[in-house]
Structure 1
């Protein structure tokens, strides 16, 4: 794995325009703060002097195959410890998945609090237990992203990113 640079806020963040990875609209609160957007996204410095990233929320959807509803619930009631540990080590917090039984849609959301999202996602893909978990759970799902092959392949994304249109802290 090539060395990655630590995450730093891009100049676009000051204008409220930065949008890495999944689509995201800045909330009305963030847009109204214009020049103070950076301070609303970043907080106090760490001991090593880096600015602490307070997190970026992600949301995604996918369709759960009807015949796997019970199995999906069963495996998520006992997530493999190696998978849970890797999620935490990759700076993903407040991760949850919701299911709408009427449409079969799974809605996942989480907060990324690290400094290098792409690097952390690469670490996630390098973990053999995570890849094994993905292979199992991908079989329970139907991607809504044209051309998506599986979770491991990365692009296009297996789970469809959805745009945030409102946030209230």
Structure 2
């Protein structure tokens, strides 16, 4: 299992809407998350900095392939079209990233 953390900004004008839509994530999006071997997926909000921190546990054997399958899913693409305009990617992210990946520095079970 891999533990993955990532961070992105959020437009403060969209925080209420972001919370609203994530209180009722589309069932097909949730199915795709599970099919992509993702478990324990959580998004945290930090105000007043307006940062979203995502954490999930990957239980598959080919993260790149599972993420490509997710990105190719039409319903997930539609979900992202709703979410992405609300998000503000960090300038320091690696080229090609939307959410900036984070280095794990500590974990205790």
Q: TM-score range by the shorter chain?
A: over 0.9
Pair 100,145 (structure 1): closer, same or farther in 2 beyond 3 Å: same
Larger % of strand: which? 2
> Following the alignment from structure 2 to structure 1, what is the Cα–Cα distance between the partners of residues 11 and 23?
18
Q: What residue ranges of structure 1 are gaps of 5+ in the alignment?
A: 1-54, 149-154
After superposing on structure 2, the runs of 4+ consecutive aligned residues of structure 1 that deviate more than 3 Å are: 145-148
Q: Structure 1 residue 145: deviation in Å?
A: 4.2
1:65-144 aligned at under 5 Å gives the runs 65-144=11-90
Q: Is the CA contact 2:4–2:57 (under 8 Å) kept in the aligned structure 1?
A: yes
Q: Find 1:163's aligned residue among 84, 103, 107.
A: 103
TM-score by length of 2: 0.95
Q: Is the CA contact 2:93–2:101 (under 8 Å) kept in the aligned structure 1?
A: no
Q: Structure 1 residue 80: deviation in Å?
A: 0.4
* CA-based RMSD: 1.4
> Following the alignment from structure 2 to structure 1, what is the Cα–Cα distance between the partners of residues 51 and 91?
13
**Structure index of larger Rg:** 1
Larger % of helix: which? 2
Q: What residue ranges of structure 2 are gaps of 5+ in the alignment?
A: none
Partner in structure 2 of residue 50 of structure 1: none
Q: Is the CA contact 2:7–2:51 (under 8 Å) kept in the aligned structure 1?
A: yes
Q: How many residues align structurally?
A: 109
Greater RCO structure (CA 8 Å; 6+ sep): 2
1:44-83 aligned at under 5 Å gives the runs 55-83=1-29
